[in-house]
Amino acid sequence: MLGKISKSFAFMTTFAVAGALSAQAKAAVPTLKVGIYLPMSGRTASFGADVYSGVKIAIDEINKAGKVKIVPVLEDEKSEPTDSANAVKKLVNIDKVHVILGSVASSNTNAAAPIAQAGKVPLITPASTNPNVTQNGDFISRICFIDDFQGSALAKFAKNDLKAAKAAIVLDSASDYSQGLAAAFRKAYKALGGEIVAEVSYQAGDQDFSSQLTKIRTKKPDVIFVPGYYSEVGNMMRQATKLKVKGTFIGGDGWSSESLAQLAGDGIEGHYYSAHFSHEDTDAAVQGFVKKFGTLNKGKSPSDMAALGYDAVYFAVDAFKRNGYKTDAEGLKKAINSAKDFAGITGNITLDANRNATKPLVIISTHKNGHKFKQRVQP
């Protein structure tokens, strides 16, 4: 009798232990530690806030779904290359993250990438478009198009759609992004038979562009190409209106910020820039994201930076999944670099041999009461 009881007790215990074990197996969700470095302050802080708004939505969704647990570590790169390098150094050496997302300005990602490469941590940039960024090594990849494509698409748009025969270029001579994009535009625009009548430069932080604009005014260009960031471009547009500079401003994804219209005032009307995404896109996935973003952000529309941030997180998690939920750097790197037809909000992402994504871009016209989708350009 006693033996029987102890036997059944033993049986029950075994059962209970097995049950506990299976419950524990269920609780051990694969965890991915994601380092994020973005310009949360400084001259391009709007990019940081926008990208992070998308990143946060994606992380919350994934953690809520419960299949994968993401542990984010956010670092502010202060819109400076040196702080970007320090931020990534910390993410690699102290936080020991499995994958790094960031940053936006190409100069900053370029400063940080060699550290991720040396530390063998995959770094995915959501929005740095300068071609050199991924040349830092095989651990560096991006989910956006590069400036060669952006520059030539804008040149075609200027020459063929705006029928602009003469262009002026205003660039930030100290920015990798600005220089690369200007070079791509210059080459493509000349190849199409356009003439570059003036080229002037400014420095990040400048407030006064009246002399540059006066010089441009005398050359009477049809379009003024400004491959810069919103913080300076907005002001430039406003001063151009005051100085009665004619000519349409065109630019790249560096314009993408709410602040552009605020800073430009009346000067915002009727210019064009290229972006990664438009919230007016009728695509179901895009509209789903727009709706989600709106409910979480007081009805605001997401910028393309927010959409890229959202995509970057899912892109990293997709690679994590294809690596069998293992966090080893080599495996993760291979999974990231072999990404094929990943369906993102900003389009399908397939990485080429140089770890760049080939994606369409959208051209957006700027207006006082909200920017408008103009056309899509296929790569």
Partner 1 sequence: MSEFVQYLVNGFAQGSIYALIALGYTMVYGILKLINFAHGEIYMIGGYVGIFLLSTLGLPFWAALLLVMPIVGLFAVLIERFAYRPLRGAPRIAPLITAIGVSIVLLELMRLIAGAQPRPFPQPFEDVSYEVGTWISALDGVIIQRNQIMVFIIAVVLMLLLNTIVMKTKIGRAMRALSMDFDASRLMGVPIDRVIAFTFFIGASLAGAGGMLVGMYYNQVEPYMGQLAGLKAFTAAVLGGIGVIPGAVIGAFILSISEALVVGYGESSYRDAIAFAILIFVLMFRPWGIMGKAERVKV
Looking at beta carbons only, is 46 or 129 nearer to partner 1? 46
| Binds partner 1 by CB under 8 A, chosen from 6, 135, 211, 348 | 211
The least CB distance from residue 170 to partner 1, in Å, is 9
Stretch that binds partner 1, among 51-59, 157-165, 203-211, 298-306 (CB under 8 A): 203-211
Question: Rounded distance, CA 274 to CA 250, Å?
Answer: 8
Stretch that binds partner 1, among 15-23, 228-236, 308-316, 349-357 (CB under 8 A): 228-236
CA dihedral sign of residues 166, 172, 176, 177? negative
81 close to 54: Cβ distance less than 8 angstroms: no
| Binds partner 1 by CB under 8 A, chosen from 89, 238, 292, 374 | 238
If binding is defined by CB under 8 A, does position 210 make contact with partner 1?
yes
Stretch that binds partner 1, among 94-102, 196-204, 358-366, 368-376 (CB under 8 A): 196-204
- CA 95 to chain CA centroid, nearest Å: 23
DSSP 222: S
Site for partner 1 in 240-269 (CB under 8 A): 241-244, 259, 262-263, 265-266
Q: Determine phi and psi for 360, rounding to 5 degrees.
A: -75, 160
Looking at beta carbons only, is 244 or 340 nearer to partner 1? 244
Residue of 220, 259, 219, 253 lying closest to 237 (CA atoms):
259
Looking at beta carbons only, is 30 or 265 nearer to partner 1? 265
Which amino acid is located at 81 in the chain? Answer: P
The least CB distance from residue 91 to partner 1, in Å, is 21
Cite the DSSP H helix spans in the chain: 2-27, 45-65, 81-93, 106-118, 147-156, 176-191, 210-219, 230-242, 258-264, 284-296, 304-322, 329-337
Q: Peptide bond preceding 303: is omega within 30 degrees of 0, i.e. cis?
A: no
Residue of 227, 217, 281, 221 lying closest to 248 (CA atoms):
221
| Binds partner 1 by CB under 8 A, chosen from 29, 30, 31, 41 | 41
Annotate 116-140 with b (16+ C-beta within 10 A) or e (fewer).
bbebebbbbbbbbbbbebbebeebb
If binding is defined by CB under 8 A, does position 214 make contact with partner 1?
yes
The least CB distance from residue 95 to partner 1, in Å, is 24
The least CB distance from residue 242 to partner 1, in Å, is 5
Question: Rounded distance, CA 10 to CA 6, Å?
Answer: 6
Looking at beta carbons only, is 123 or 171 nearer to partner 1? 171
Site string for partner 1, 129-168 (x = CB under 8 A): ----------------------------------------
**Contact residues: partner 1, CB under 8 A:** 41-43, 45-46, 79, 173, 200-203, 205-208, 210-212, 214-215, 217-218, 231, 234-235, 238, 241-244, 259, 262-263, 265-266
